Structure 1
């Protein structure tokens, strides 16, 4: 166990009302910072009052985008326990992203220790209303003041937290999705399988255009053939076709979602056929036309599940399951949130009590 210095705030903030939560708009009283110096490693772990960062204008993160992040949640159970959901997988994925961005590996045990101490300190910020949670954002930034194109010699690992409601205003209700044909999110060999800021910045234009047409998000096709489905917005995607649930196989340009992996395991546990494979937009349209496309949904930490009620591809709209949430989507949502909030048994050992 590493000693983590703790400085408690002397000016606690006023907590927002539940109806004002939204997503990622309010932040707790404290944050965690760990420094990295080349030759010294990660050092000076500390929890301090939430505050602005002071960085040199030449800090490399501003110029070359050397940054990675994660997203997870803390929950308060009816019994009063604080729980996390598979946090060790988040920190393992953080290090996978680090490797791709030439950022030194973070001590995963230290990251989890710091997270638990931060969550306990700000326990009163965990909302308890239905469908609310404490969103947790760990991230790493390159801080060396240098304008040469090379890996930084200095970094900061930081955790901030935010009490949140539903990510989408629609909640668990189905959303409308526009199939993107001009822009691509990522290509194999790029940074698509890493959770880095540039992936999200490059997605904004297509998302903006989709929003202008009344669609909640974009469905991304592959960057080479513009035919094979990859992700939906910033989520992994699933389709239920003729009784089998299908999700695009990880191919180097798709983020290996922890919620995605959890859904696959739940499906297998429930005896529902599930496949990871390449799936084309042509196959989806044909399944819709022959009546075998039964459900579709996106998965991710923020929304858990976001059912898809309509796809627009070219000039055609394809309504899925009459625009209603499907049985499998509801089952997966209820199972995963039930485990997260401690409402049902956890046969997978995913729930971590702080």
Structure 2
């Protein structure tokens, strides 16, 4: 993206808004979308905001056959004073470029991409919900569009941003979930695409999630792809454990996604002088911590839920209950603090929030 001359075509047929209490994640979309195209030798061009609409692709487009695509997930919040706030959006754009590099895709200009996003939010500002717990979910993504069946990086791409108003993730307060530890399938390995937000990572997780669903579990806890003993992620979230007063989370190792909520949680804990360590964490360690009564809390972190407390693990036929299946004090404090910063009801000592005029 070499310039920010955005052509805007307003939607003449406005979509009907869904009441906040009826919103289903990712089912309702705003009136407009942003698109920019890339051509090898030219760069990014034709930046435009247009009515939300289907995408037309050639049947031989690279994305359809070789999965060359990356995406991000972020949110905009409307505070009580009417200001729209983004939470660390520059980190999302930075991570998107990391994903692009891994998938042999062209990088975006992070600053200009953020400006394009702000312009899109301004056009669809009325879609940012104001009810408690609601937000505008934002999905920037890139797809390879060249009509070519040869196994090589595409020469053309589209960078697109779509937005969706979403309701509160926890309609009745945050509640611990049940987790099945996955021992057969793996999410990623070092050297693979685990550190990129690309579609194949999520497609490969669906089979294990189906098994978990059938057995009454909310999510899968992924172990490493080599020894099948070290914890990596939970579902599509990063994971934390509070063991004997210290918070531990798996260290980034080339297969774990560098979560923005994860990064924020670590900074918050350090700000509060809560001991937090990034290192390898094995299931044997979790079993021993549970056996000795030192497993105080466990929770996943991500954009959608922010904090998702874990109340139960099942591994190799054993059940480990965490904090008697109840949400821990630290999980509550982290959730309330992060959402407070995001919504503007609490002080932001880190400069994480970007306000839109």
Task: Give me the TM-score of the superposition, normalised by structure 1.
Answer: 0.99
Q: CA deviation at 1:107?
A: 1.0
Q: CA deviation at 1:167?
A: 4.1
User: Where do residues 201-350 of structure 1 align in structure 2 (5 Å cutoff)?
Assistant: 201-350=203-352
2:5 to 3, 7, 20: 3
Distance 2:130 2:253 in 1: 38
Distance 1:167 1:66 in 2: 30
SS of 2:312's partner is strand
CA contact (8 A) 1:187 1:253 kept: yes
Aligned residues: 354
Gap change, CA 1:185 and 1:168, over 3 Å in 2: farther
CA contact (8 A) 2:133 2:169 kept: no
Matched, 1:185 2:180: no
Deviations 1:48-90 (A, max 9, x none): 0000001101110000000000000000000000000000000
Distance 1:197 1:169 in 2: 28
2:155 to 135, 153, 156: 153
Q: CA deviation at 1:121?
A: 0.9
In structure 1, the residue matched to 2:198 is 196
Distance 2:246 2:276 in 1: 6
Deviations 1:109-149 (A, max 9, x none): 11101100001111111111111100000000000000000
Distance 1:140 1:169 in 2: 32
CA contact (8 A) 2:65 2:149 kept: yes
Deviations 1:183-227 (A, max 9, x none): 000000100000000000000000010000000000000000000
Distance 2:172 2:226 in 1: 33
Indicate the larger mover: 126-135 or 86-95: 126-135
In structure 2, the residue matched to 1:64 is 66
Q: Structure 2: which 5+ runs fail to align? A: none
In structure 1, the residue matched to 2:35 is 33
SS of 1:44's partner is strand
- How much is the aligned-residue C-alpha RMSD, in angstroms? 1.0
In structure 2, the residue matched to 1:50 is 52
Q: CA deviation at 1:287?
A: 0.1
CA contact (8 A) 2:132 2:168 kept: no
Q: Structure 1: which 5+ runs fail to align? A: none
CA contact (8 A) 1:138 1:160 kept: yes
SS of 1:328's partner is helix
In structure 1, the residue matched to 2:165 is 163
CA contact (8 A) 1:35 1:43 kept: yes
SS of 2:5's partner is coil
In structure 2, the residue matched to 1:83 is 85
User: Where do residues 83-122 of structure 1 align in structure 2 (5 Å cutoff)?
Assistant: 83-122=85-124
SS of 2:90's partner is helix
Distance 2:173 2:346 in 1: 21
Distance 2:30 2:283 in 1: 42
CA contact (8 A) 1:22 1:167 kept: no
Distance 1:290 1:254 in 2: 28
Distance 1:168 1:18 in 2: 13
Q: CA deviation at 1:170?
A: 7.4
Q: CA deviation at 1:166?
A: 3.5
CA contact (8 A) 1:23 1:166 kept: no
